[in-house]
Amino acid sequence: MDIDQIRTFLSVAANGSFLEAANRLYVTQSTVSTRIQRLEAYLGVSLFVRNRAGASLTQPGQRFLRHAKALLLTLEQARHDIGLPSRFRDSVSIGARIALCEGLLPEWIGAIRRQMPDVSIRTDIGFEEDLMRSLISGALDIGMMYTPQHSPGLLVEHIFDETLLLLSTDPDRPWPNDDYIFVDWAPGFYAQHSNAFPNLERSAQVVNIGWMALQLILAQNSGSCFLPIRLAAPLLQSGRLYPVAGSPRFTLPAYMVSGRDNDSPVQQQVLAQLRGLATAERQKDYSALGN
C-alpha cells in the first residue's frame, strides 16, 4: 500500500467514478483500476461495487474510508516534517475552525512567525470532528475549536469566549423575518438559541459556518444572523451591519487542544505564545459595539 493508492481510493470514493478519479488525478483509467486492485489485494477485501452508474463503496470500503483519510494526513505530515529545509529547526501544525481563522489566527500566526522565524508552520481549516481526528492521530499538533471532544491523551484549554450578536443589514426592519439565516455554531449555541426563541420557526436559510452567512447577507445586501462581535466589529463600525434591538447575546467558548504529554520545546513555546495571545483577546473591550 502506498500514498498513490490511498489518494486514488479517496478520489474514487469522493467522485463515485473511476473515470472521474482518473481525470482529477491526471492519470489513465487503467492506472486507477490497477491501483485500486492492488489496494484491494493488500487489504483482502473489495472496496467498491462497479456498475454502469460508476463506483460505490462496499461496507469494508466505508470502514476503510476514515482510515485512508487519517493515513493520508499522517503521510503528508511526515513528508512536511522530514522535508524541512535546513533553515528551519522544527515544524508545527495548527488547525482551527474557520471562524477562529478569520481575523484571529492569521494575526496570531504572524506574531509567532515574528518570534520564531526558524519554525515552519502549517495551518489547516476544519470542523471539530476532522480536527480532533487529526489531533488524536498525531497529524495535527494544535487545534482551536468550539466543541472539542475529550481524549485521555489530549489537553483541552479554554482560551476565550466569543460573544455572538444578532446583526442585520436593516436596523428598522422588524425581526424575525424571512431573511434570517440560522448559523449552526455549536450545540451550546443551539441550546441558547432555542431557549431564547422557543417559538421561532425554522429559518429559510441554514448554514454551518458564519462566514457563509455573512457572505450571503453582504451579497444580497439584506439579512440577519448571529456573528461573533470581534468578526463583525469592522462592519458595525462602517455601518454595514446593525445590532437587532432587544436581541440577546450568546456566549460561545473557544478552546485550544494539544497533546497532553508533548515534550517538544518548540511546540511548548508556540503553545505559550498562543496562551498569551488568547489572554490579550480576552482583554479587548467590545462594549462600545453592538449597543
On whether both 101 and 241 belong to a single domain, the answer is yes
Please check whether residues 132 and 222 belong to one and the same domain. yes
* The pLDDT of residue 1: 76
**Last residue of some domain: 79, 99, 121?**
79
Phi, psi of 49 (to 5 degrees): -100, 115
Render pLDDT for 223-277 as a digit per residue (tens, 0 to 9): 999 999 998 999 999 999 999 998 999 999 999 999 887 778 999 999 999 999 9
The single residue listed with the C-alpha cell 474557520 is 98
What letter represents residue 211's amino acid? W
Task: Determine how β-strand 119-125 pairs with β-strand 90-96.
Answer: parallel
70 plus 111 within the same structural domain: no
Helices then strands, counting H and E runs in the chain, come out as: 11, 11
- For the whole model, what pTM was predicted? 0.72
Do both 145 and 36 map to the same domain?
no
157 and 199 co-located in one domain = yes
Max Cα distance, the chain (Å): 66
Structural domain ending residue among the three candidates 26, 44, 79: 79
Residue 97 lies in a domain: yes
Q: Is 85 among the domain residues?
A: no
My answer on whether 20 and 114 are in the same domain is: no
Domain annotation covers residue 128: yes
Domain CATH number, residue 253: 3.40.190.290
Cα separation, 131 vs 143, in Å, equals 6
What is the model's pLDDT at position 80?
65
Q: Is the pLDDT of residue 287 over 80?
A: no
Question: Which of 26, 46, 79 is the endpoint of a domain?
Answer: 79
**Is pLDDT of 129 > 90?**
no
- C-beta of residue 9 within 8 angstroms of C-beta of residue 64: yes
d(CA 18, CA 36): 9
* Residue in the structure block whose three cell numbers are 448571529: 226
Pairing of strands 242-243, 90-96: unpaired
Q: Residue 84: inside a domain, yes or no?
A: no
| Position 209 in a domain | yes
Please identify which residue in the block is written with the cell numbers 517538544. Answer: 264
Q: Are 101 and 60 found together in one domain?
A: no
Q: What Cα–Cα distance (Å) separates residue 221 from each residue in 7, 104, 163, 170, 262? A: 41, 25, 23, 9, 47
The position carrying cell 490579550 is: 280
Instruction: Specify if 276 maps to a domain.
Output: yes
Comparing 74-88, 114-128, 156-170, 200-214, the range with the smallest average pLDDT is 74-88
**What are 174-205's pLDDT values in tens digits?**
999 999 999 999 888 999 999 999 999 999 99
Express each pLDDT in 64-95 by its tens digit. Answer: 998 888 888 777 767 666 666 678 878 889 99
pLDDT at residue 81 in the model: 65
CATH of the domain at 62: 1.10.10.10
Residue 286 in domain: yes
In a domain, 162, yes or no: yes
Kindly state whether residues 137 and 239 are assigned to the same domain: yes
The answer on 158 and 223 residing in a single domain is: yes
Domain, as residue range, for 261: 90-291
Both 35 and 178 in one domain: the answer is no
Q: At 16, phi and psi to the nearest 5?
A: 65, 25
The number of domains in the chain is: 2
pLDDT of the residue at 62 = 92
Q: Please compute the mean of the pLDDT values over residues 150-170 and round it to a whole number.
A: 92
Q: Cis omega (within 30 of 0) on the bond before 176? A: yes
E strand or H helix at 194, and its extent? helix 187-196
Domain shared by 75 and 143, yes or no: no
Specify whether 73 is located in the same domain as 187: no
